[in-house]
Amino acid sequence: MKKLENYLAGKWITGDGDGQALYDAVSGEPIAGATSKGLDFAAMLDHGRKVGNPALRKMTFHERGRMLRALATYLLERKEKFYQVSYHTGATKADSWIDIEGGIGNLFSNASLRRKFPDLPYCTDGEPVSLSKAGTFMGHHILVPKEGVAIHINAFNFPVWGMLEKCAVNWLAGMPAVVKPATITSYLAEAVVKEIIASQILPDGALQLICGSAGNLLDYVSSQDVVTFTGSASTGLLLKSHPKILSESVPFNMEADSLNCIVLGADVQPGSSEWEIFIKEVRKEMTVKAGQKCTAIRRIFVLENKMEDVWKAIATSLSQTTIGNPLNEKVRMGSLAGESQRKEVKAQVQKLLASSQLVYGSLDSVEVLDADAKKGAFISPVLLKNEKPFENNASHEIEAFGPVSTIMPYKNLEEAIALSKKGKGSLCSSIVTTDNKIATEYTIGAAPYHGRILILNTECAKESTGHGSPLPLLVHGGPGRAGGGEEMGGVRGIKHYMQRVAIQGSPATITEITKTYQQNAAGNKSTVHPFKKYFEELKVGDQITTEKRKITSEDIDRFANMSGDHFYAHLNETDFNGTMFEKQVAHGYFIMSAAAGLFVDSYEKNPVLLNYGIDELRFTKPVYPGVEMYVRFTCKEKIPQDKREENEISKGIVKWLVEIFDETKEHIGVATILTMVKRKG
């Protein structure tokens, strides 16, 4: 029997001894042994900190993002290898798609997020803050990568997705990772990591792997490390209270299995489209990955007078689900991950049966296709009924991590919300309703106890990703029992691996640190108009101050006629008593247009390809006829863009600070405009 290898300090190493035997979940045959005995965990973390971390920290967000995109493309080309290994876990092709291509999709999604960041190794966070009257002292926040290692202790159910959804984020943030998959399915994680290392796309030390026990790994963590855990709440609590985690104040993110719920809105009637959506969603969440999902539906809440109709409809739907060998195309539900998992699920169901009734399924037998029900870790879907959910609390406290769910009645929406909260914190909840008032009341009422809420109806069902699908751009996690953590969430997730630092100083100093021009910093004066410079030639702080232009009543009238904007304040004949204005006032958009006329160098071709947009436009003072306006125009920030096609023009986005003044040197307007600027090359 082959032994899985661990990847430590740039080398593939088999641990000492035979280790834990791993079995094919469908046939029961042994397929590998896994052990981490003899591994030097201190050296592993030291390698990540001293080799992997500096390499990633030196890279910019854009370089890291392109690295993720290259890795995602590389893995996608080799996905069929992973599917063949994934079948050993008992997963069907559809189950494996979620794990494998869902994980790779996380790499693509995070690669795209590079556009939200500067082409620097670090970034600003939030808005600058003026700290003085004269504008010579200010503050800001920056985010820099931590100098440690991200340690991911993952669950058995998604050995690929669970690894890549976390690593994608820490790599984009500039931190290396040590991945410790659950041993029972670590052979699939090993197969993917083998390909990642072979690609040589990541710098040395960016990824290390432990197949087997984590041993005393946490004894060596430091305050610069981040630890994430996905799994049972009891194991998570044990790890979270590790003395080194506490003494070093190591950030610890826990995503624990939870008793997620779905509610059938009182407005939904049998036979309606929403009724069918509800039944389908419950069946899917009970049978995908054989119910082995941290987001799977464990509790079903239905108006009490529809209980029988609902459980019978669910039972009928479940009876049409073919169970068996996932290699068979007719099979829709595979096995559990192993015999130990089957024993655990059966034991938990027995506890639930003390206060609930079995209305579908069996713990003793299951009909399977193209497989041996005794040798494989197969189990029937199990639907339970708890008639008294406010008295019998087991359904809100005990989780059977398999195709098991409990249906319970409610009298009104207030009760449905109260029942959802009895799970004491969940990763997600869903409600199926066509009534947006019901949706709003449920969402706001249940929200403090859930990390994500899905509202389903015919309007969105066809494109909905479903109850159990965490998405890279939305947060994943939940309060209370669900672990109290948060991961993914687009830009939000990246910040978990960075240190937020408040910085204070002069605008010039903060400009230099952030590489973004700050108001009141001295600009770079030049005889060459900024619009005549290519993207590479422009420097943050390049600045011009324009000539003055007098605003006349005729200007305002002409703009009103041209634009069709005849708002009363722009009309000369308006009686201005009781208004905010003294007399006819110029349109804000006319002032912005006039400003463009002052700062745009427009008489010949130049590297500026087009105006890309306007951000943060504000009009700060009324402009009356006779005012003399001028503009201070400054290169604020540069954002490179990648070519999408070979013959595409090479370019970048430049942000310009537009400050509009009157003759008293007071601001009358401020904006950030964006232009697309050609590169020289």
Instruction: For residue 148, list its beta bridge partners.
Output: none
Strands 138-145 and 524-525 turn out to be: unpaired
Task: List, in order, residues 6 or more apart from 97 with CB less than 8 Å away.
Answer: none
Q: Which has the closest alpha carbon to 91: 264, 257, 293, 240?
A: 293
| Three-state SS sequence of 386-441 | CCCCCCCCHHHCCCCCCCEEEEEEECCHHHHHHHHHCCCCECCEEEECCCHHHHHH
Among candidate residues 123, 167, 261, 294, the one labeled active-site is: 294
Going by the DSSP 8-state scheme, the letter that residue 353 receives in this structure is T
How far apart, in whole angstroms, are the C-alpha atoms of residue 416 and residue 438? 11
Which residue has 């952030």 as its token pair? 514
Report which secondary-structure segment, H or E, holds 58: helix 53-58
How far apart, in whole angstroms, are the C-alpha atoms of residue 440 and residue 443? 5
537 flagged as catalytic: no
How far apart, in whole angstroms, are the C-alpha atoms of residue 242 and residue 182? 19
Strands 129-130 and 207-209 turn out to be: unpaired
Q: Map residue 533 onto helix, strand or coil.
A: coil
Residue 185 amino acid letter: T
CB atoms within 10 A of CB 411: 11
How far apart, in whole angstroms, are the C-alpha atoms of residue 345 and residue 403? 9
How far apart, in whole angstroms, are the C-alpha atoms of residue 209 and residue 6? 5
How far apart, in whole angstroms, are the C-alpha atoms of residue 40 and residue 599? 62
Tokens representing 561?
């006629």
Q: Map residue 577 onto helix, strand or coil.
A: coil
Q: What are the two backbone dihedrals, phi and then psi, of residue 390, each rounded to the nearest 5 degrees?
A: -85, -15
How far apart, in whole angstroms, are the C-alpha atoms of residue 290 and residue 197? 31
Residue 21 amino acid letter: A
Instruction: For residue 633, list its beta bridge partners.
Output: 544, 658
Q: Map residue 119 onto helix, strand or coil.
A: coil
Cβ 32 vs Cβ 22: under 8 Å = yes
Strands 226-231 and 150-153 turn out to be: parallel
Cβ 332 vs Cβ 287: under 8 Å = yes
Annotate 619-669 with DSSP letters as a single string. E-S---TT-EEEEEEEEEEEEE---SSTTSPPEEEEEEEEEEE-TTS-EEE
How far apart, in whole angstroms, are the C-alpha atoms of residue 416 and residue 427? 17
CA distances from 371 to 26, 287, 382, 610 (A): 7, 17, 20, 63
Among candidate residues 165, 255, 281, 285, the one labeled active-site is: 255
Q: Which has the closest alpha carbon to 417: 442, 453, 438, 452?
A: 442
255 flagged as catalytic: yes
Q: Which has the closest alpha carbon to 599: 645, 651, 659?
A: 659
Can you say whether the dihedral through the CA atoms of 354, 359, 360, 361 is positive or negative?
Answer: positive
How far apart, in whole angstroms, are the C-alpha atoms of residue 670 and residue 661? 9
| Three-state SS sequence of 438-505 | HHHHHHHHHHHHECCEEEECCCCCCCCCCCCCCCCCCEECCCHHHCCCCEECCHHHHHHHEEEEEEEE
How far apart, in whole angstroms, are the C-alpha atoms of residue 24 and residue 228? 28
Active site amino acids: 255, 294
